[in-house]
Amino acid sequence: MVWGHWNVWGSLVWFGFMFPPADLLSEKDMEVLLQATGCSSELLRPLCRTDCLSERYRSFTGECNNRQHPKWGAANTAYSRWLHPEYEDFRGAPRGWDPEHTYNNFTLPPVRLVSQEVLLTQNDDISLDTSLSHLLVEWGQWIDHDLALTPQSPSTAKLTSLSCRVSPSRPVPQIPLSDPRTGIQSCMPFFRSAPSCVGGALAGTPPHHHREQLNAITSFVDASMVYGSSSSLAAALRDSSSRLGRLALNDQASDQGLAYMPYLPRLCPLSVAYIMCCLGDSRANEHLGMIALHTLFLREHNRLVEQLHLLNPHWGPDTLYQEARKIIGAIHQILTWEHYLPRVLGETATSQLMPTFRGYDPETDPSISNVFSAAAFRFAHVTVQPVVARLGSGYSLSPEHPSLPLHHSLFASWRVVQEGGIDPILRGLLLSPAKLQLPGQMMVEELTERLFQAQGGLPLDLAALNLQRGRDHGLPGYSSWRALCGLSVPNTTSDLADILGSPGLAEKFRSLYGTPQNIDVWVGAISEPPLAGGRVGPLLACLLARQFRALRDGDRFWWEREGVFTGAQRAALHAVSLSRIICDNTRIAHVPSDPFRHTVSPDDMLACNHALIPHLNLSAWKEPDTDPKCGLVPRLESGFSMLCDSTIYYQCAPGYQLIGPSLVTCDPNSQLWNAAPPTCHDVDECADQPTLCPENKDCLNTPGSYMCKGKVL
């Protein structure tokens, strides 16, 4: 069943038809409707726990991070708005939906025409970034997959090459007559983003019932692409049999003993082909770089739980899992804010736009903004190289895993297993430079002309899709966002030429859009020359910094917040290094001290045992054996325990039953534990389940388990 756009207010709108007002529907009818559309999870206010564990660990969904606003930053909620959307009608038709509709007395150009005229760059006509590695580009997409996932709506708004009209009066983006694809396809395939069930509003203003889009994952930098944004996915990604809290591994293939991500139980349909896909974030299989990073952090999680188990053998699998998850989340925050963003924004802009952390602010909404997801954080698409470098041992070229045209690396997870694992891919990312974005060198043809071509079907155009996505989301034009950021607003072509530093590019925009006010925000923002030391211009610096500031200040579990980690743990975390993580989880023996900086020669790499590639010292995670007031912490035989703010949580190992309280608390007055610790009693599986063993064998109970033995005749 395909459901359309629901607005839950006085009545429900479904593909433009009106349901009866809510008071004509019974309570049961409303409940059925809300469940069927998935709106119930969006509308219900979650109940937030206040126990010690809820203070120590995030929820998977992001709910209750903010106790006053428990849905802020949570999965399956609407993107926030910094400006009111500009749709073509009250139902939320995308900008440019009607080719005769004018904005500021001009019609909007077809997105494919903008791609061809402004963005298309031949693969061999690019300049390389002598300062930054391609791993920085990859990290941007990796973090994007931690922040936002916009589900698409398989509704009548699908734009296909077979039917390029939703209805006779609703044409969709066409392929211009001047386009090389004319005669092959008449329009670009496109799905509209699924709408939220609730209308959107700017902070501090009354609710508006315009169309809003959903973020299906948590907004927070919490490594949700590794662990999932729901309890069910998190459970599916775990090794349920592990007593160490490990993530699940591939049981069909390994990288010479090192783990791969587990496969999905069935092949994934992709255009005209079916491929083997990896379980996890739905975008993990997009290209080789993503698979490499997913694999890297799966291995790092499992390495951490083993190390934490050695420090705290009394911790159970859930504690080990959550502590490793918490560390991985902090690592992502540190690498992004301290290593990635200063290179994107530039040191000066970072210091001006990203002031020092002053503490958690419960009045800051950390939700991802629509403009950030649909436009601003797509800036790095113009820094992608057309070739995926794969390098052998010693960072040498190798015939076993040659470099690939970019489109041959997309949805090609099989190449990881069959062509050398993740090491060649990571070596290529470490040694290859990023592409420079220049006015005449925007997006390589691998992305505008060959996107997903290797998987069969018609190739897509990433630039056109980005532009259409912004229009689909009703993002106002370029000038409106300049005004929001307090920047000068171009009114003439001359004004625009001054801002862009390129009269030729400004003239292209004039011929396409008629006025600077109509320029799509994504293409306008990426066209600005970068700030000193950075890779983005003033508008992108403003939008990116505003979002990342909110993600930091509005996160109750931000790694620097007092009480999230101890002082000793924060000091240890501050030394984290992506190069160290690569050393610890691959067979790569030499790495750069700074993996985001372009390393000119393999000779400049450092051995993994070099002092500049420090290990993460986990000694600060050793749990004390005593409580400050109640003294010795009672442990369990055949069970697990964890001390959390003078409360001990108990759990028995599998095959044992907990007898007694699952937690005891230190009484500060008596300075005694408020109850005796529980005990773990062996479960007699043979008595409880007489049919465990086949008829020709006897069931023999063993401590924590059982065994089936042949009957004595």
Show which residues are catalytic.
145
Which amino acid is it at 146?
Answer: D
**Strand-strand pairing, 443-444 and 120-121:** parallel
- Contact yes or no for 6/197 (Cβ under 8 A): yes
Q: How far is Cα of residue 586 from the mean position of the Cα atoms in its chain? A: 23
d(CA 315, CA 645): 15
Residue given tokens 């069970």 in the structure block: 639
Three-class SS state of 438: strand
Q: How far is Cα of residue 519 from the mean position of the Cα atoms in its chain? A: 28
Residue given tokens 């490499």 in the structure block: 292
Return the closest-CA partner of residue 472 out of 197, 208, 149, 191: 191
d(CA 251, CA 191): 35
Q: How far is Cα of residue 324 from the mean position of the Cα atoms in its chain? A: 18
For residue 399, what are the contacts with CB-CB under 8 A and spacing of at least 6? none
Residue given tokens 């924590």 in the structure block: 704
Which structure tokens are listed for 582?
């690569």
How many Cα atoms occupy the beta-carbon half-sphere of 667 within 13 Å?
8
How many Cα atoms occupy the beta-carbon half-sphere of 524 within 13 Å?
29
For residue 76, what are the contacts with CB-CB under 8 A and spacing of at least 6? 38, 41, 42, 61, 214, 215, 216
C-beta atoms surrounding 124 within 10 Å: 8
Strand pairing partners for 451? 460
Q: What b/e string do you get for 383-422 counting C-beta neighbours within 10 Å, with b at 16 or more?
A: bbbbbbbbbbeebeebeebebbebbbbbbbbebbbebbbb
Residue 590 in marked binding region: no
Return the closest-CA partner of residue 130 out of 342, 432, 375: 432
**Would you tell me the crossing angle of helices 578-585 and 288-311 to the nearest 10 degrees?**
80
Give the burial class of 314: count Cβ atoms within 10 A of its Cβ; 0-12 exposed, 13-18 middle, 19 or more buried: middle
- Contact yes or no for 603/317 (Cβ under 8 A): no
Total residues belonging to the chain: 713
Three-class SS state of 627: strand
Return the closest-CA partner of residue 294 out of 156, 127, 426, 440: 426
- Contact yes or no for 65/73 (Cβ under 8 A): yes
- Contact yes or no for 217/229 (Cβ under 8 A): yes
Three-class SS state of 81: coil
Q: How far is Cα of residue 572 from the mean position of the Cα atoms in its chain? A: 25
d(CA 586, CA 393): 12
Three-class SS state of 313: coil
Return the closest-CA partner of residue 142 out of 345, 280, 6, 45: 280
| Geometric angle at alpha carbon 56, from 53 and 57, rounded to 5° | 85
Binding-site residues, in ranges, read 381
Task: List, as residue ranges, the binding site for heme b.
Answer: 381
